[in-house]
Amino acid sequence: MSQSLKLTVNGQDRTANFEQSTWTVTQNWSRQGDTATLYLTDEHAGGPSFSIPPLATVALTDTGIGQTLFAGVVTMPQMTYHGPNLAYWSLSCTDWTYLADRALVAGDWLNLTADQLAISFAQQAACGINAALVSAGGFVQPAPTVPRLQVNYQTLPAALTALSQLVSTSDTWGWYIDEQRNLHWFDTATAPSSGWTFSDAPAGLNQAGVAQYDWDNYQYVWDATSIRNRVTVQGAKYSLQQTDTFVGNGSQTSWPLTFTADANGLGSAKLTVGGVTKTLSAQTGSSASTQWVAVQNSSGGWFLQPNTDPVPASGTVIVLTYNYLAPIVTTVQDGASIGEFASLPNSGVFQYFVSDTNIPTLFSAQQRGQRETHTYSQPEERVQLQTTEQWGGHVRAGQLITVQNAVTPDSVNGYTPGINGRYLVVQNQIAGQPGGYRTYQITAARVG
């Protein structure tokens, strides 16, 4: 059915100038803000009748269903002349995430729940984004406790994305900012429902909340290109203590250390030679004045050598206690996924390595591994569909839809034909069509 669209720019109604058959709105869940491209014409007699400055506010609304399809600011207005009495405007727009992308968050937080952190980020950013718990009338869902999180001057969207990734150990978390500047932050278990089922069954189309899609643009994908079910995570380095014991033979002048010493801590290392405490320093190129030195070779190995002291006599016991740096390393695996693919030549094991020096603790490394296996231990299922022009409803990225198709194999049911599952809309493009209609090109990931 034809929609009743209204476009306002800086609060002024520009519906009469709006090209209703060529506009687009593009949405991506938990990546960046929505964008829109809008076109206006200005037929005039003695010069342009209006102008649109950069960062003008814009809102596109379907008044028939009371739904705002897009709201934000014009980031790049362009005007061209198609004749002496005709001006043409092309507006590149970004939703309210534009403001969040230009606000910074920084801090070191201990033992707060992730929902408290998300709200704290928005409050610190102070860029006009509203954030409140669901229990307080907002759209931020309760979330697990985060032992520690450090944010070093990241934009609000980047901080929210990092937080989402951190807590996505058993469910995937994500966010979006709606047309009223409200922050929505939730996982797939608490994602809001659009209230719509997209079906290939004509009999169901007479029911409320059921819509048809275009068979010519329907596609179903099982994506195993990124599968991983055993993940090794290497994080930051931490300090450990090692004691090496050597015995002199009267001629040896260099002894290799077992581990790569922490050069910054060698001044506090404890060295005894024949039971007598000796001074020690790292040999950094200049002449050392200590009795013994630790010297690093071109391969990175460290060697203990006498400096002002004589070579130890045969049988002299040399004991060095020093600190060395070792990386945090942990391995996480998904046994169910490995078992499912065990008949393959690799016994079902798909390994993956993560190296991130920003991971400060073993617990954080384990969480990162759990997130990787949760997200990638199974092939991702995605459905791509396009609504028909006759549909007059609305969905957005970040909402749940139900998809029915009689011939698509169902992985939950042994790949027998016929699916009826829940899907989270991760990408969505709304496009104006001639006659005041619109279509939705939806990409959604299966969540149930």
**pTM, rounded to two decimals:** 0.81
| Proportion of the chain above pLDDT 90, given as a percent | 79
**Which among 127, 109, 108 is positioned nearest to 33, based on CA atoms?**
127
Burial (CB count <10 Å: 0-12, 13-18, 19+), residue 442: buried
Task: Give me the numbers of helices (H) and strands (E) for the chain, helices first please.
Answer: 5, 27
* pLDDT given at position 2: 52
CA dist 62 and 280 (Å) reads 77
> Using one digit for the tens of pLDDT, what is the confidence trace for 180-234?
999 999 999 999 999 999 999 866 565 789 999 988 999 999 999 999 999 999 9
Helix (H) or strand (E) holding 249: none
Integer CA distances (angstroms), 61 to 36, 73, 113, 136, 342, in order? 13, 15, 36, 27, 52
Specify the pLDDT at position 206.
Answer: 59
The burial class, CB within 10 Å (0-12 / 13-18 / 19+), for 392 is: middle
Low-confidence ranges of the chain (pLDDT < 50): none
Mean of pLDDT over the chain: 93
Report the half-sphere exposure of 295 (CA within 13 A, side-chain side). Answer: 17
**Contact residues for 371 (Cβ-Cβ < 8 A; gap 6+):** 165, 166, 168, 169
Q: Please count the other Cβ atoms lying within 10 Å of the Cβ belonging to residue 133.
A: 17
Cβ proximity of 95 and 70 under 8 Å: yes
Written as six digits, the tokens of 116 are 């408290």
pLDDT value at residue 235: 93
Q: Which domains does the chain have, with CATH numbers?
A: 5-95 (2.30.300.10), 101-187 (3.55.50), 193-224+379-446 (2.40.30), 228-371 (no CATH)
- Across 269-396, where does the E strand assignment appear? 270-273, 276-278, 280-282, 292-296, 302-306, 317-333, 351-355, 380-386
DSSP string, 376-401: HSSPEEEEEEEB-TT------TT-EE
- pLDDT, position 66: 94
The pLDDT assigned to 3 comes to 65
